[in-house]
């Protein structure tokens, strides 16, 4: 048996789980806002923006209590926080810029306990309510719930995607949509046939090697073709910044459409 997670979180998944990435809203209450809106999981994005481990730890604690998975996105395969994200209570770690099988192996080693990996034994964990338990029980419980997610977002990663997917310890491949298109020389052209072909290859690699498949940064109009039809289990639907700016702009457009046509009547 390889080092893939024994969690059944994605063994019998719904058609797709939709998540919200938090880039600016670092307060713990943001997790409850996401749950109230109906999201299936939350990502604390520590790659782009000011949020760090302090925000992640608080969000993960609320997520544990509220029954909403919280994942942390680190800065890359060389991040010193790969296992620390898990120690702080996240149930998954998203790693961007996984460009090779060696990158994937490095991640898996950092996030799995021996004999599957080299993750150091932590102290009491949030997932166990910080109870002191035998080391073997602690490791078994922590290992069961971990999702190790490799982001595919470059031409180099696409070229090695089958080997990345086959790496023991990698649970899910997630496409960074805009970065992948950019890496293929098709900046902003997510609807280009070459981009769809890349998505299809990645989804197939994931399926063939027992990984989950997910997407991030994909416009809603392309979800049917580039994600759902390809078997995506996980969709990071949007982030807090886009949700507020785009949602606010749409609301204002609707409200202003109700205002008097005569601009002179407006304050």
Which residues neighbour 182 within 8 Å (Cβ) at sequence distance 6 or greater? 188
* Active-site annotation holds for 97: no
Alpha-carbon distance 23 to 107, whole Å? 23
Eight-state DSSP code of residue 77: T
Query: Terminus-to-terminus CA distance in the chain, angstroms?
Result: 69
Which residues neighbour 123 within 8 Å (Cβ) at sequence distance 6 or greater? 87
For residue 138 the two structure tokens come to 């602690």
Query: Residues 209, 162: contact at Cβ < 8 Å?
Result: yes
Of 48, 192, 209, 226, the active-site residue reads 48
Alpha-carbon distance 106 to 120, whole Å? 14
What's the gap between Cα 90 and its chain centre? 11
Query: Residues 209, 2: contact at Cβ < 8 Å?
Result: no
- Supply the DSSP string of 148-201, one letter for each residue: EEEEE-SHHHHHTHHHHHTSTT--EEEEEHHHHHHHTT-TT-TTSHHHHHHHHH
Eight-state DSSP code of residue 91: S
Catalytic residues: 48
């Amino acid at each position: 048996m390889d080092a893939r997670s024994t969690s059944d979180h994605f063994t019998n998944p719904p058609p797709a789980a939709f998540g919200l990435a938090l880039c600016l809203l670092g307060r713990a209450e943001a997790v409850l806002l996401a749950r109230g809106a109906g999201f299936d999981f939350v990502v604390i994005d520590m790659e782009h923006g000011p949020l760090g481990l302090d925000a992640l730890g608080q969000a993960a604690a609320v997520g544990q209590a509220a029954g909403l998975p919280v994942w942390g996105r680190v800065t890359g395969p060389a991040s010193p926080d790969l296992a620390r994200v898990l120690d702080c209570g996240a149930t998954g770690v998203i790693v961007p810029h996984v460009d090779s099988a060696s990158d994937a192996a490095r991640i898996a080693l950092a996030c799995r306990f021996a004999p599957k990996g080299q993750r150091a034994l932590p102290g009491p964990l949030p997932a166990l309510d910080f109870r002191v338990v035998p080391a073997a029980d602690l490791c078994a419980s922590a290992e069961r719930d971990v999702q190790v997610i490799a982001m595919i977002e470059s031409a180099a990663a696409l070229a090695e995607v089958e080997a990345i997917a086959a790496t023991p310890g990698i649970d899910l491949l997630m496409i960074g949509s805009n970065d992948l298109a950019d890496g293929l020389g098709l900046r902003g052209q997510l609807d280009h046939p070459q981009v769809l072909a890349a998505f299809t290859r990645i989804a197939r690699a994931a399926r063939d090697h027992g990984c989950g498949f997910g997407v991030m940064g994909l416009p809603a109009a392309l979800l049917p073709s580039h994600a759902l039809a390809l078997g995506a289990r996980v969709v990071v639907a949007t982030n807090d910044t886009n949700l507020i700016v785009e949602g606010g702009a749409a609301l204002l457009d609707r409200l202003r459409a109700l205002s008097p046509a005569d601009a002179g009547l407006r304050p």
